[in-house]
C-alpha cells in the first residue's frame, strides 16, 4: 500500500512539473525565460561538481600525442588500483607492460585532488564510396571536481606528461613503433613495428662519411633553440642515392636507431591527393623519420625542363625489371600527387609540426630528380652510397666473418676498385660461408675475378677494333688471377704457413 502511495506522489509531482513548465513556456516573456534558464543551469552545474576531459587516440586523421603519453603514464600506475588489467610483453620489449582494459577505471590522488581515469573503446562506423567500415576509437576520460580545474590544467596534466616522457626515456632501448594513423579511407597507412637491427656499428660505409652523418644528426637534434631563433622549422632533409644494395635502407634504420626516432614509411603512390599527403604528414609524431623510398619511381618528379627528352631516354634505357614493374604499377597514379605538392610539404608545412623531423628520400637515379627538390633547405644533405670500398669491406669482414685482418686482404684491396660489387653482394657471399673466414675471403675473390671479367668484357665490346689486343691481354690476366686464387685455396688447405710469401710470389708472377 505504501508503495502505491509513493508511485502516486511521484505521478502528481511530474504532472505539477509539466504544468509549471508549460505555463512558463506559454506565459513568460522569452527574455525572462532565457534569464531563468541560465540561472538554473548555473545552480545545477554547481550541484554537479564533476568535470570530464576526453582524450581520444585520434584527432580527425591525426594521432594525438597526449593519448600516448596518458597510456604510458597509466601503464606505470594502474597496477595498484585497476581491477582488470592487460599484461603483455611486446616483441623487443625487455619488461612486462600493464595496461588498462577497456571500460576500466583507475583512481589516484594528486596534491589532494581526487582524479579518476577511465578507458573506453568505441566502434565508429564510417562509410566511404558505398563501403561502410567500423573503426576502433579508443579514448581516456579524466574526471575530477570542478573546483580543481585550474590545478589539473596547470599541475596535474604537466605532471602526467613529464612522467610519460621519463618512461619513454627509460625504455629507450625498446624499439617498437606503436603509433597508428588512418587515412581518409580508414586504412592504416603507417604501422611499422620498428625493430631493424642495423646500427652505425654494423653499417659498412666509409668511416669518414659515417662520422660526418653522425655529427650532422647530433648537431640537428641539439639545435632546437637555433631553429626557432632563426625562424626555421626544425627539420632536415636527406637524399640518399646510389645503386641498389649499397645500404640506403640500412642507413635509414641506423639513423632511426641512433636518434631513437620513429619511422614512417610513406608510400607516395597510395596517396591520392596533395591535401591528403599534407594531412598524413602532419599526423606524424615528433621525433620521427619520414621516408620516401625510390622517389624517382613513385612520382614524376623529374626536372620539368628536361622532361620530354628524358621520356625518350627512358624508353631506350635498359633498366632493371623490378624498376620497370614499379614504374608501370605506379604510372596510373602519376597525376595524383604533384611535384609542387611534395615541395610544399618539404618546405612550409613543417612549421605547423613543432617537433623535430627528418625526411629522407632515396633514389637510385639522382640525375632524374628535379633541381627544385634537391636544393638546400629541401634536401640539406646529399649522401652518395656507392660500390663497396676497402674500409666498408673490412667492416663487413669483421661483422660477418669476425676478422680484423686476413692474408687475402691486400688482394681484395687491389681488386675492389676494378669490380662493381655492392656491400649487399659481399654480405651475401659472407652469409653463405657460415663464418668460415678463409672460405669467405676466397669466395669473395673468386666472385671479384668473375665480376672483373664481366666488366672488362663489356668495356671491350664497346671499344674500337684497335683495342682488341688489350682485350686478349686482359682476359689472359683474368685467367691468371682466377688460377692463382684456386691455387691459393689449395695451398691454404695444405698449410697455413708461408701464406704471405706464396701470395707475394703469386702476385709477382701475375705482374710479370
Ligand atoms: N653499407 C652496408 N652495410 C651493411 N650491410 C649492407 C650495406 N649495404 C647493404 N647491406 C646488406 O644488404 C642488404 C640490402 O641492403 P639495403 O636494402 O640497405 O640496400 P639499398 O641500397 O636500400 O637497396 P635498394 O636501393 O634496392 O632499396 C641489407 O639487408 C644488408 O644486409
Q: Please report the pLDDT score of residue 495 as a whole number.
A: 35
Q: Please report the pLDDT score of residue 326 as a whole number.
A: 40
- State the pLDDT confidence band at 74, using cuts at 50, 70 and 90: confident
| Set of cell numbers at residue 280 | 598524413
Q: Is 197 in the pocket of ligand 1 (CB under 6 A)?
A: no
Stronger pLDDT, 161 or 307, i.e. the higher one: 161
Task: Give long-range contacts, CB 8 A cutoff, 24+ apart: 81-88.
Answer: 81/106, 81/107, 81/108, 82/106
Res 432 pLDDT > 50: yes
CA of 250 to the centre of ligand 1 (A): 5
CA of 489 to the centre of ligand 1 (A): 29
Res 186 pLDDT > 60: no
Residue nearest to atom 24 of ligand 1 (CA): 244
Res 252 pLDDT > 90: yes
Q: Please report the pLDDT score of residue 66 as a whole number.
A: 85
Of 111-115, 260-264, 422-426, 447-451, give the lowest mean pLDDT range.
260-264
- State the pLDDT confidence band at 13, using cuts at 50, 70 and 90: confident
Q: Ligand 1 pocket check: which of 366, 424, 429 to mutate, most ligand atoms within 8 Å of Cβ?
A: 424
DSSP string, 365-406: -GGGS-HHHHSTTTS-EEEE--S--HHHHHHHIIIII--S--
Q: Please report the pLDDT score of residue 95 as a whole number.
A: 60
- 204-228 tens-digit pLDDT: 999 999 999 999 999 998 888 888 7
Res 2 pLDDT > 70: no
Tell me the C-alpha distance between 369 and 314, whole Å: 14
- State the pLDDT confidence band at 374, using cuts at 50, 70 and 90: confident
Res 492 pLDDT > 50: no
Strand pairing class (131-145; 113-128): antiparallel
- State the pLDDT confidence band at 306, using cuts at 50, 70 and 90: very low
Q: Please report the pLDDT score of residue 225 as a whole number.
A: 83
Q: Please report the pLDDT score of residue 360 as a whole number.
A: 92
Q: Is 210 in the pocket of ligand 1 (CB under 6 A)?
A: no
Of 118-122, 194-198, 374-378, give the lowest mean pLDDT range.
194-198
What is the rounded average pLDDT of the residues 2-22?
74
Q: Which atom of ligand 1 is nearest to the CA of 204?
A: 3
Q: Which atom of ligand 1 is nearest to the CA of 251?
A: 18
Res 133 pLDDT > 60: no
Which of 36-40, 288-292, 478-482 reaches the highest mean pLDDT? 288-292
Stronger pLDDT, 367 or 126, i.e. the higher one: 367
Strand partners, 182: 188
Q: Is 203 in the pocket of ligand 1 (CB under 6 A)?
A: yes
Q: Please report the pLDDT score of residue 173 as a whole number.
A: 37
Q: Please report the pLDDT score of residue 429 as a whole number.
A: 93
Tell me the C-alpha distance between 183 and 347, whole Å: 22
Assess contact for 329 and 301: CB atoms under 8 A: no
Residue nearest to atom 17 of ligand 1 (CA): 249
What is the rounded average pLDDT of the residues 134-147?
83
Stronger pLDDT, 43 or 448, i.e. the higher one: 448
What angle in degrees, to the nearest 10, is found between the helix axes of 2-27 and 30-47? 140
Which of 189-198, 294-303, 330-339, 391-400 reaches the highest mean pLDDT? 391-400
- State the pLDDT confidence band at 478, using cuts at 50, 70 and 90: very low
The percentage of residues in the chain with a pLDDT greater than 70, rounded to a whole number, is: 63
Stronger pLDDT, 336 or 412, i.e. the higher one: 412
Of 104-113, 300-309, 415-424, give the lowest mean pLDDT range.
300-309
Burial class of 144 by CB neighbour count within 10 A (0 to 12, 13 to 18, 19+):
buried
As a residue count, the chain comes to 512
What 3-state DSSP class applies to 243?
coil
Q: Please report the pLDDT score of residue 508 as a whole number.
A: 44
Q: Is 237 in the pocket of ligand 1 (CB under 6 A)?
A: no
Terminal-residue alpha carbon distance, the chain: 124
CA distances from 354 to 167, 188, 283, 284, 286 (A): 22, 23, 12, 11, 7
Res 258 pLDDT > 60: yes
Q: Please report the pLDDT score of residue 305 as a whole number.
A: 44
CA of 243 to the centre of ligand 1 (A): 10
Centroid of chain to Cα 382: 19
Dihedral, CA of residue 319, residue 325, residue 328 and residue 334, to nearest 10: -90
Which of 113-127, 198-212, 443-457, 468-482 reaches the highest mean pLDDT? 198-212
What angle in degrees, to the nearest 10, is found between the helix axes of 437-462 and 468-494? 170
CA of 134 to the centre of ligand 1 (A): 39
Domains in the chain: boundaries: 50-174, 188-384, 390-511
Q: Which region holds residue 219: left if phi is over 0, alpha if psi is between -120 and 50, else beta?
A: alpha
Assess contact for 261 and 287: CB atoms under 8 A: yes
Q: Is 245 in the pocket of ligand 1 (CB under 6 A)?
A: yes
Q: Is 205 in the pocket of ligand 1 (CB under 6 A)?
A: yes
Assess contact for 116 and 144: CB atoms under 8 A: yes
Assess contact for 151 and 113: CB atoms under 8 A: yes
Res 264 pLDDT > 70: yes
Res 393 pLDDT > 60: yes
CA angle (282, 283, 285) in 5-degree steps: 100
Stronger pLDDT, 263 or 83, i.e. the higher one: 263
Q: Is 247 in the pocket of ligand 1 (CB under 6 A)?
A: yes
Res 367 pLDDT > 70: yes
Nearest CA-CA partner of 135 in 116, 146, 121? 121
| Set of cell numbers at residue 270 | 597510395
Considering the chain, what is the average pLDDT of its residues? 72
Q: Please report the pLDDT score of residue 5 as a whole number.
A: 55
- State the pLDDT confidence band at 266, using cuts at 50, 70 and 90: confident
Q: Is 421 in the pocket of ligand 1 (CB under 6 A)?
A: no
CATH topology classification for 188-384: Rossmann fold (3.40.50)
What is the rounded average pLDDT of the residues 302-324?
42
Name the E strands within 60-195.
62-63, 85-88, 97-100, 104-110, 113-128, 131-145, 181-182, 188-190
Amino acid at each position: 500500500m505504501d508503495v502505491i502511495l509513493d508511485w502516486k506522489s511521484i505521478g502528481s509531482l511530474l504532472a505539477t512539473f509539466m504544468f509549471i513548465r508549460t505555463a512558463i513556456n506559454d506565459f513568460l516573456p522569452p527574455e525572462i525565460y532565457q534569464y531563468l534558464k541560465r540561472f538554473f543551469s548555473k545552480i545545477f552545474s554547481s550541484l554537479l561538481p564533476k568535470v570530464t576531459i576526453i582524450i581520444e587516440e585520434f584527432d580527425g586523421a591525426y594521432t594525438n600525442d597526449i593519448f600516448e603519453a596518458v597510456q604510458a603514464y597509466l601503464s606505470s600506475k594502474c597496477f595498484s588500483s585497476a581491477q582488470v588489467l592487460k599484461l603483455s610483453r611486446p616483441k623487443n620489449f625487455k619488461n612486462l607492460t600493464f595496461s588498462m582494459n577497456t571500460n576500466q577505471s583507475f583512481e589516484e590522488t594528486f596534491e589532494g585532488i581526487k582524479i579518476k581515469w577511465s578507458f573506453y573503446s568505441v566502434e565508429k562506423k564510417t562509410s566511404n564510396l558505398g563501403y561502410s567500415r567500423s573503426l576502433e576509437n579508443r579514448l581516456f576520460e579524466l574526471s575530477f571536481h570542478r573546483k580543481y580545474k585550474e590545478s589539473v590544467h596547470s599541475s596535474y596534466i604537466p605532471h602526467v606528461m613529464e612522467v610519460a616522457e621519463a618512461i619513454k626515456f627509460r625504455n629507450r632501448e625498446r624499439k617498437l613503433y606503436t603509433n597508428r594513423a588512418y587515412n581518409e579511407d580508414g586504412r592504416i597507412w603507417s604501422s611499422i613495428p620498428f625493430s631493424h637491427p642495423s646500427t652505425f656499428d654494423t653499417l659498412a660505409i666509409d668511416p669518414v662519411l659515417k662520422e660526418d652523418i653522425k655529427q650532422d644528426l647530433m648537431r640537428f637534434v641539439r639545435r632546437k633553440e637555433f631553429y626557432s631563433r632563426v625562424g626555421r622549422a626544425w627539420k632536415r632533409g636527406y637524399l640518399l642515392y646510389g645503386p641498389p644494395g649499397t645500404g640506403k635502407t640500412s642507413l635509414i634504420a641506423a639513423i632511426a636507431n641512433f636518434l631513437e626516432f620513429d619511422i614512417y614509411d610513406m608510400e607516395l603512390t597510395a596517396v591520392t591527393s596533395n591535401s591528403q599527403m599534407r594531412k598524413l604528414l602532419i599526423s606524424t609524431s615528433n621525433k620521427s623519420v619520414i621516408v620516401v623510398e625510390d622517389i624517382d619511381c613513385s612520382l614524376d618528379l623529374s626536372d620539368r625542363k628536361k622532361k620530354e627528352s628524358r621520356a625518350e631516354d627512358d624508353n631506350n634505357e635498359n633498366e632493371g625489371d623490378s624498376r620497370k614493374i614499379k614504374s608501370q604499377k605506379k604510372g596510373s597514379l602519376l597525376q595524383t600527387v604533384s611535384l609542387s605538392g611534395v615541395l610544399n610539404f618539404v618546405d612550409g608545412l613543417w612549421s605547423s609540426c613543432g617537433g623535430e623531423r627528418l625526411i629522407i628520400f632515396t633514389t637510385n637515379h639522382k640525375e632524374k630528380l628535379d633541381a627544385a627538390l634537391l636544393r638546400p633547405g629541401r634536401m640539406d644533405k646529399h649522401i652518395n652510397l656507392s660500390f663497396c670500398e676497402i674500409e666498408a669491406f673490412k667492416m663487413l669482414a669483421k661483422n660477418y666473418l669476425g676478422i680484423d685482418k686476413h692474408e687475402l686482404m691486400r688482394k681484395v684491396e687491389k681488386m675492389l676498385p676494378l669490380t662493381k660489387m655492392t656491400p649487399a653482394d659481399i654480405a651475401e657471399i659472407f652469409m653463405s660461408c657460415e663464418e668460415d673466414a678463409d672460405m669467405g675471403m676466397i669466395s669473395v675473390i673468386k666472385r671479384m675475378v668473375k665480376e672483373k671479367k664481366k666488366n672488362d668484357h663489356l668495356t671491350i665490346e664497346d671499344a674500337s677494333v684497335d683495342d682488341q689486343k688489350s682485350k686478349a691481354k686482359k682476359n689472359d690476366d683474368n685467367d691468371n688471377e682466377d688460377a692463382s686464387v684456386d691455387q691459393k685455396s689449395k695451398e691454404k688447405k695444405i698449410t697455413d704457413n708461408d701464406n704471405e710469401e706464396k701470395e707475394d710470389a703469386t702476385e709477382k708472377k701475375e705482374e710479370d
